[in-house]
């Protein structure tokens, strides 16, 4: 049976922001639809309206010509709309089966049979009786999908489903989604990743700043055209100039080891490398191979032997991050909202946090608020942070804006070396481009970068030299021109 | 010294009797906490139950009305807490503390007229069987209905949480109210129900004290048992069976240290009085030290307000 879902003139206004501005869309089963847009474009609001989590201010939703009243998630479920959220809606301490039975009206045995049938059909293998917290992200997502499938949905909405998946899991997911679509389930796929749209979808709707900008068929689009629609301007492709031949060594790591007491951390084994001025050293690897530990050792969160790190002719291995900053190092950690900034504190308060000693933010232990605010405003305008309210709590900044703020905070003191860890993780194209441009600019000013990243494309674009980390060991350091993504892939898998 | 088997049986029975109010209040609070709500008002709800039960018994003369009246009183006072924390989204800790202070104050006020009035005798079951079996006779028989209910309650609670759908929903709400709400579960309703249930059980625990255990009204007669009940819930890692063990150890040590004081053992009284608290906590910490299990049984949202926004 054909399913037709119509969104008609939906508007949702939040104080200070129009999340959905008169959006109308129509979907038919048998196709996979992409809903594309940058972070904050209003995609998530729209799908939350479809799943009954948010009630729109205006507008109507029709499923097969019936006007739906979606006042709660329960209403969406009753109307056969299934939704897999970006942040899983699972109960971590309950078993998989308990998670599935909780919103089902069926008896235990018949539900178990049903789940088994679904798992067999789509080749899922999950132990139903272990607690959800023991599952990988990919498995958790499958549990969410099973939860939807139990109800034989007409519509399945996937909100940024690949942000937590490995590549292998992503291709598995795509296979499943194609199968669902063939079986007549209408699939709406929300993402900001252009490659995925091209790979998976049949039609694409692009949103920008709460408005629907275009609806088109994938065969008439390509990555560039979609990127331009999404960002609303022509993106320049960035090209890095090759670093000038060496102008002196800046940092040298020799025989650095780190042995952790925590069984979930990776030990670092005999790390040796050096970075010259004006150079970017990229460190590739599959996440969990010691990147986080390496970042902490380099930033001084973990202290090592004094002689293992030589920076600007000083031995600094035993210094903490604050002291290392005095020597003009700067850090941008992976977790923006927990490590780099304090979510509940205001923008300007966060700006003051990395600069206790050398700044004039404090007089005799008292905070000099005006100085800090002035300084924050400078960062915001210099680094294109899209807000004019420095009193805003940093948790309300979008990922891209927060990253710009953090990079700006680190760079405004013009450090000699910036160490960053996954600086563009989870950001939209516009923000990624901006960060990349900024990083290239640093190199051009004869400053150095150590870029730890799990994004191979990013590393190839920005690095002068690349090494791969695998199980806490670094591969030999290669010039960026001689490596390809295939070669990196092999090294990341642990082969020599 | 001749050890009289019958006497040992009586001591064990008295230990069990002293554990009853702890088990009742803890099992009630356990359900409340499993739904993610931290109600520190157990002591207050217990004392309200104690005075309500005693007063109703004296005024109406009807034990059934008195027992259910005490539970209802517990429900009513916990409704205040539920309204504050779930409808007005106030802080759980502050609201719970206020509830205790309020309960102690108002019970003292109502209780003024009931001081010194002797209680009624509460009927016991299977009295005749008490002397038929040595040792076990006095342990198993000749107790009130509330006593038997209390010792069944941890098992009922465990079954309820693990095997029933409503129990599953309670745990789900405590684990992640956001997810539960997105699944269409009415988080506020579930939490209201769990708070009121906890109130009823605390009320019953109080009534047991003033009507059965020591049938009279004394101001502040719960004497911190509500706080012990709260501690039992946490240190048992939200496991009803371990609550039973903890309550027995606490009751046991309380009774034994009384006897030791009476015999005149040369240990400072202060140390003896503190002993039950220390040992109970140590034992529960030791039997619950598996950190993975703690992670699995701790309600993740405990004490956090849930506010659904649209």
Do A420 and A350 fall within a single domain?
yes
Question: Which residues of chain A from 35 to 54 reach within 8 Å of chain B, CB to CB?
Answer: 51, 53-54
User: What's the pLDDT band for B310 if we cut at 50, 70, 90?
Assistant: very low
The minimum CA-CA distance between A73 and chain B, rounded to whole Å, is 5
- Asked if the Cβ–Cβ distance from A102 to B165 is below 8 Å, we say yes
Q: What is the mean pLDDT of residues A398-424?
A: 88
- Assigned domain for A342 exists: yes
Question: Which residues of chain A from 85 to 124 reach within 8 Å of chain B, CB to CB?
Answer: 85, 88-94, 98, 101-103
Instruction: Show the domain range for B200.
Output: 5-297
pLDDT of amino acid A440: 92
Distance CA B193, CA A260 (A): 47
Does pLDDT of B1 surpass 60?
no
Give the DSSP letter string of B87-155.
IS---HHHHHHHHHHHHHHHHHHHHGGGTT---PPPP-BSGGGGGTSTTHHHHHSSB-HHHHHHHHHHH
Domain end residue (candidates: A200, A231, A262): A231
- Assigned domain for B224 exists: yes
- Assigned domain for A237 exists: no
Q: What is the mean pLDDT of residues B115-125?
A: 89
- Asked if the Cβ–Cβ distance from B172 to A131 is below 8 Å, we say no
Q: What is the mean pLDDT of residues A436-456?
A: 90
Ramachandran quadrant class, A359 (left: phi over 0; alpha: psi -120 to 50; beta: rest): beta
pLDDT digits (tens, 9 = 90+) for A450-493: 999 988 888 988 999 999 998 899 999 998 888 887 788 788 77
Does pLDDT of A272 surpass 90?
yes
**A283 class by beta-carbon count within 10 Å (0-12 exposed, 13-18 middle, 19+ buried):** buried
- Assigned domain for B276 exists: yes
- Greatest alpha-carbon pair distance for chain A in Å reads 74
Do A187 and A45 fall within a single domain?
yes
Instruction: Show the domain range for A354.
Output: 249-492
Distance CA A401, CA A398 (A): 5
- Assigned domain for A103 exists: yes
Do A176 and A259 fall within a single domain?
no
Do A220 and A280 fall within a single domain?
no
Do A101 and A184 fall within a single domain?
yes
- Assigned domain for B30 exists: yes
Do A401 and A344 fall within a single domain?
yes
HEC assignment per residue over B35-102: CCCCCCCHHHHHHHHHHHHHHHHHHHCCHHHHHHHHHHHHHHHHHHHHHHHHHCCCCHHHHHHHHHHH
- Assigned domain for B302 exists: no
Do A213 and A344 fall within a single domain?
no
Number of residues that make up chain B: 310
Does pLDDT of A426 surpass 80?
no
Distance CA A405, CA A407 (A): 6
Pick B183's closest partner by Cβ from A93, A102, A133: A102
The minimum CA-CA distance between B93 and chain A, rounded to whole Å, is 21
Do A396 and A290 fall within a single domain?
yes
Structural domain count, chain B: 1
- Assigned domain for A238 exists: no
Pick A93's closest partner by Cβ from B165, B175, B185: B175
pLDDT digits (tens, 9 = 90+) for A12-25: 988 767 889 999 99
Averaged pLDDT of chain A: 87
Q: What is the mean pLDDT of residues A35-52?
A: 86
pLDDT of amino acid A246: 62
Give the residue from A12, A44, A89, A107 with the most B CB atoms within 10 Å of its CB, the best one to mutate: A89
pLDDT digits (tens, 9 = 90+) for A340-389: 888 888 888 888 887 766 667 888 778 888 888 888 888 888 888 887 78
* Percentage of the residues of chain B whose pLDDT score is greater than 90: 65
Distance CA B15, CA B22 (A): 12
Give the residue from B34, B161, B175, B292 with the most A CB atoms within 10 Å of its CB, the best one to mutate: B175
The domain that contains B34 carries what CATH number?
1.10.3470
Please report, in angstroms and rounded to a whole number, the separation of the first and last CA atoms in chain B.
73
pLDDT of amino acid B95: 96
CA B100-B104-B108 angle, to 5 degrees, is 165
User: How do the residues of chain A divide into helix, strand and coil, expressed in percent and rounded to 5?
Assistant: 35, 25, 40
- Assigned domain for B306 exists: no
Among B24, B38, B26, B23, CA closest to B191: B38
Lowest-confidence range among B1-15, B103-117, B118-132? Answer: B1-15
The domain that contains A397 carries what CATH number?
3.40.50.300
Please report, in angstroms and rounded to a whole number, the separation of the first and last CA atoms in chain A.
53
Do A265 and A174 fall within a single domain?
no
- Asked if the Cβ–Cβ distance from B175 to A92 is below 8 Å, we say yes
Do A55 and A200 fall within a single domain?
yes
Contact between A184 and A1 (Cβ < 8 Å): yes
SS3 B180: helix
Extract the tokens encoding A195. 């490659």
pLDDT of amino acid A62: 93
Averaged pLDDT of chain B: 91
Does pLDDT of A165 surpass 80?
no
Pick A94's closest partner by Cβ from B172, B182, B310: B172
pTM, two decimals, is 0.74
- Assigned domain for A236 exists: no
User: What's the pLDDT band for B157 if we cut at 50, 70, 90?
Assistant: very high
Distance CA A96, CA A90 (A): 9
Contact between B79 and B235 (Cβ < 8 Å): no
Do A322 and A439 fall within a single domain?
yes
Q: Which position has the token pair 């304090």?
A: A342
- Assigned domain for A241 exists: no
Structural domain count, chain A: 2
Pick A90's closest partner by Cβ from B179, B297, B310: B179
Q: A371-397 in b/e burial notation, b at 16+ Cβ within 10 A?
A: bbbebbbebbeebbbeeeebeebbeeb
Does pLDDT of B116 surpass 70?
yes
In order of A334, A398, A401, A402, the CA distances from A379 in angstroms are 20, 16, 11, 12
Distance CA B141, CA B47 (A): 28
Does pLDDT of B2 surpass 70?
no
Residues 6+ apart with CB under 8 A from A247: A276, A277, A278, A446
pLDDT digits (tens, 9 = 90+) for B266-276: 888 888 888 88
- Asked if the Cβ–Cβ distance from B181 to A93 is below 8 Å, we say no
Domain end residue (candidates: A185, A202, A231): A231
Contact between A347 and A398 (Cβ < 8 Å): no
pLDDT of amino acid A266: 81
In order of A421, A496, B281, the CA distances from A333 in angstroms are 5, 29, 41
The number of C-beta contacts closer than 8 angstroms across A and B is: 57
Smallest CA–CA distance from A55 into chain B, residue: B310
ipTM exceeding 0.90, yes/no:
no
Q: What is the mean pLDDT of residues A75-97?
A: 89
pLDDT of amino acid A456: 80
- Assigned domain for B122 exists: yes
Does pLDDT of B51 surpass 90?
yes
Q: What is the mean pLDDT of residues A218-246?
A: 74
- Asked if the Cβ–Cβ distance from B165 to A92 is below 8 Å, we say no
- Asked if the Cβ–Cβ distance from B300 to A93 is below 8 Å, we say yes
Does pLDDT of B62 surpass 90?
yes
Do A203 and A299 fall within a single domain?
no
pLDDT of amino acid A268: 92
- Assigned domain for B305 exists: no
pLDDT digits (tens, 9 = 90+) for A105-155: 888 899 999 999 999 988 888 999 998 888 877 888 999 999 999 989 999
Contact between A390 and A348 (Cβ < 8 Å): yes
- Assigned domain for B61 exists: yes
DSSP letter at B210? I
Domain end residue (candidates: A199, A231, A263): A231
């Amino acid at each position: 049976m054909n399913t037709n879902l119509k969104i008609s003139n939906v508007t949702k206004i939040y104080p200070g922001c129009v999340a959905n501005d008169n959006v109308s869309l129509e979907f038919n089963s048998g196709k996979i639809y992409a809903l594309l847009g940058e972070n904050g474009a209003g995609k998530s609001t729209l799908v939350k309206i479809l799943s009954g989590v948010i009630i729109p201010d205006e507008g109507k939703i029709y499923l097969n010509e019936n006007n739906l009243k979606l006042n709660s998630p329960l209403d969406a479920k009753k109307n056969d709309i299934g939704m897999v959220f970006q942040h899983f809606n699972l109960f971590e301490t309950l078993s998989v089966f308990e998670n599935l039975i909780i919103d089902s009206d069926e008896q235990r045995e018949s539900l178990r049979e049903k789940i088994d049938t679904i798992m067999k059909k789509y080749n899922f293998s999950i132990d139903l009786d272990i607690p959800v917290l023991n599952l990988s992200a990919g498995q958790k997502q499958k549990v969410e999908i099973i939860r939807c499938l139990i109800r034989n949905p007409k519509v399945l909405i996937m909100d940024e489903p690949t942000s937590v998946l490995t590549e292998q899991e992503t291709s598995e997911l795509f296979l499943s989604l194609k199968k669902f679509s063939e079986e007549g389930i209408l699939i709406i796929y929300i993402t900001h990743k252009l490659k995925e749209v091209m790979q998976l979808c049949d039609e694409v709707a692009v949103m920008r700043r709460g408005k629907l900008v275009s609806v088109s068929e994938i065969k008439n689009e390509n990555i560039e055209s979609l990127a331009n629609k999404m960002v609303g301007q022509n993106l320049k492709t960035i090209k890095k100039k090759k670093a000038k031949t060496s102008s002196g060594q800046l940092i040298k790591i020799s025989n650095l080891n780190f042995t952790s007491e925590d069984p979930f951390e990776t030990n670092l084994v005999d790390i040796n490398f050096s970075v010259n001025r004006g150079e970017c050293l990229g460190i590739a690897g599959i996440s969990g191979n010691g990147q986080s530990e390496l970042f902490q050792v380099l930033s001084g969160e973990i202290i090592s032997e004094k002689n293992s790190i030589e920076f600007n002719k000083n031995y600094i291995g035993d210094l903490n991050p604050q002291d290392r900053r005095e020597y003009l190092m700067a850090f941008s950690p992976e977790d923006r909202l927990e490590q780099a900034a304090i979510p509940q504190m205001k923008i300007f308060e966060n700006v003051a946090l990395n600069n206790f000693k050398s700044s004039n933010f404090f007089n005799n232990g008292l905070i000099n608020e005006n100085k800090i605010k002035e300084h924050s405003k400078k960062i915001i305008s210099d680094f294109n942070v899209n807000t004019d309210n420095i009193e805003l709590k940093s948790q309300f900044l979008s990922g891209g804006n927060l990253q710009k703020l953090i990079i700006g905070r680190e760079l405004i003191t013009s450090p000699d070396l910036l160490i960053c860890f996954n600086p563009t993780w989870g950001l939209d194209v516009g923000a990624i481009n901006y960060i990349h441009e900024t990083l290239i600019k640093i190199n051009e000013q004869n400053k150095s970068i150590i870029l730890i990243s799990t994004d191979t494309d990013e590393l190839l674009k920005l690095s002068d030299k690349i090494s791969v980390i695998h199980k806490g060991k670094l591969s030999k350091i290669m010039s960026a021109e001689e490596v390809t993504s295939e070669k990196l892939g092999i090294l990341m898998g642990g082969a020599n | 010294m001749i050890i009289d088997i019958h006497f040992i049986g009586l001591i064990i029975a008295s230990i069990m009797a002293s554990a009853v109010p702890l088990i009742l209040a803890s099992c009630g609070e356990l359900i409340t906490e499993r739904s993610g709500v931290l109600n520190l008002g157990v002591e207050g709800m217990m004392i309200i139950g104690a005075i309500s039960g005693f007063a109703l018994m004296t005024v109406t003369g009807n034990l059934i009305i008195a027992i259910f009246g005490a539970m209802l009183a517990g429900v009513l006072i916990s409704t205040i807490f539920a309204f504050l924390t779930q409808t007005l989204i106030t802080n759980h800790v502050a609201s719970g503390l206020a509830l205790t202070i309020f309960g102690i104050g108002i019970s003292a006020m109502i209780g003024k007229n009931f001081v010194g009035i002797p209680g009624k005798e509460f009927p016991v079951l299977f009295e005749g069987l008490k002397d038929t079996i040595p040792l076990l006779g006095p342990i198993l028989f000749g107790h009130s209905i509330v006593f038997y209910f209390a010792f069944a309650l941890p098992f009922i609670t465990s079954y309820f949480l693990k095997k029933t759908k409503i129990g599953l929903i309670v745990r789900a709400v405590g684990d992640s109210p956001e997810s539960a709400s997105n699944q269409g579960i009415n988080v506020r309703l579930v939490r209201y129900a769990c708070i009121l249930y906890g109130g009823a059980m605390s009320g019953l625990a109080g009534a047991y004290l003033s009507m059965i255990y020591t049938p009279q009204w004394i101001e502040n007669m719960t004497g911190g048992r509500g706080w012990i009940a709260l501690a039992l819930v946490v240190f048992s890692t939200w496991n009803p069976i371990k609550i039973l063990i903890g309550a027995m150890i606490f009751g046991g040590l309380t009774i034994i240290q009384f006897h030791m004081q009476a015999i005149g053992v040369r240990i400072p009284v202060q140390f003896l009085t503190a002993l039950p608290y220390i040992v109970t906590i140590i034992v529960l910490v030791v039997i619950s030290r598996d950190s993975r299990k703690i992670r699995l049984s701790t309600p993740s949202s405990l004490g956090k307000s849930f506010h659904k926004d649209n």
